[in-house]
């Protein structure tokens, strides 16, 4: 199986590579369009700020490539947020894959939300063998509200989308690569979709 991690200068690449390796696979880090198109699975990572991350995608032409991909694609954290219509962070226009706008927590909670939280309302093969209220690891100040494409929720003062899915596109607000056994199972599930 050919697994590609899209390289556009986003953080958390090494931890994703190590998590994939623990599952017995190798992942290639690349920004090469043909290599990304030919992958069996694509991981779209992200740690950082939305507008500068989107600018890097635009500079490399990856902003037009990602929405056209036909194989399973997993956006992680900022990667998921960039797959949405827009983000309040830096007034950023997104890739428009998920029909929701990303907004900042403004309900009196401390931001960023850092640490372990529960996911529930699990609705996808991505969560096979995962129990409701399993714990996952998050670091974020912005979130996607619950929408038609929500496949898992989490709460931080309000309930929000912990994961999204539309067709072959999946997104997790949390970091499966840092979420211990639960995250490992979610990555394994993604690779078997």
- pLDDT bin (cut points 50, 70, 90) of residue 126 is very high
User: Is pLDDT above 90 for 87?
Assistant: yes
- Identified catalytic residue from 89, 177, 184, 188: 177
Query: Which residues, 6+ apart, have CB-to-CB distance to 155 below 8 Å?
Result: 117, 118
Give the model confidence (pLDDT) of 6-62 as tens digits: 998 876 789 999 999 999 999 999 999 999 999 999 999 988 899 999 999 999 999
Question: Of the listed 77, 84, 140, 149, which one is catalytic?
Answer: 77
SS3 118: strand
Residue-level pLDDT at 47:
83
- Average pLDDT for residues 143-167, to the nearest whole number? 97
Is the model's pLDDT at 166 over the cut of 80? Answer: yes
At residue 39, φ and ψ (nearest 5 deg) are -70, 150
- Can you say whether the dihedral through the CA atoms of 150, 133, 25, 7 is positive or negative? positive
Give the β-pairing of 84-87 and 98-104. parallel
- Reported as half-sphere exposure (CB side, CA atoms, 13 A), residue 94 has a value of 24
pLDDT bucket at 99, cuts 50 / 70 / 90: very high
Element at 149 (helix H, strand E) = none
Nearest to 67 by CA among 88, 40, 39, 44: 44
177 assigned to active site: yes
Give the pLDDT confidence score for residue 165 in this predicted structure. 98
């Amino acid at each position: 199986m050919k697994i590609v991690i899209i390289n556009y200068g986003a953080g958390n690449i090494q931890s994703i590579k190590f998590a994939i390796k623990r599952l017995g696979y190798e992942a290639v880090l690349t920004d090469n369009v043909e290599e990304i198109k030919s992958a069996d699975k694509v991981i779209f990572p992200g740690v950082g700020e939305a507008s500068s991350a989107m600018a890097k995608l635009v500079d490399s032409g990856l902003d037009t490539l990602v929405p056209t991909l036909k194989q399973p694609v997993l956006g992680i954290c900022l990667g998921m947020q960039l797959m949405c219509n827009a983000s309040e962070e830096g007034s950023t226009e997104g890739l428009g894959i998920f029909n929701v706008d990303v907004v900042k927590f403004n309900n009196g909670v401390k931001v960023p939300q850092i640490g372990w939280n529960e996911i529930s309302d699990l609705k996808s093969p991505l969560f096979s063998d995962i129990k409701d209220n399993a714990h996952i690891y998050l670091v974020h100040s912005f979130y996607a509200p619950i929408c038609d494409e929500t496949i898992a929720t989490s709460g931080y003062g309000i309930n929000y989308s912990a994961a999204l899915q539309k067709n072959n596109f999946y997104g997790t607000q949390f970091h499966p690569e840092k979420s211990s056994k639960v995250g490992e199972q979610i990555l394994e599930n993604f690779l078997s979709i």
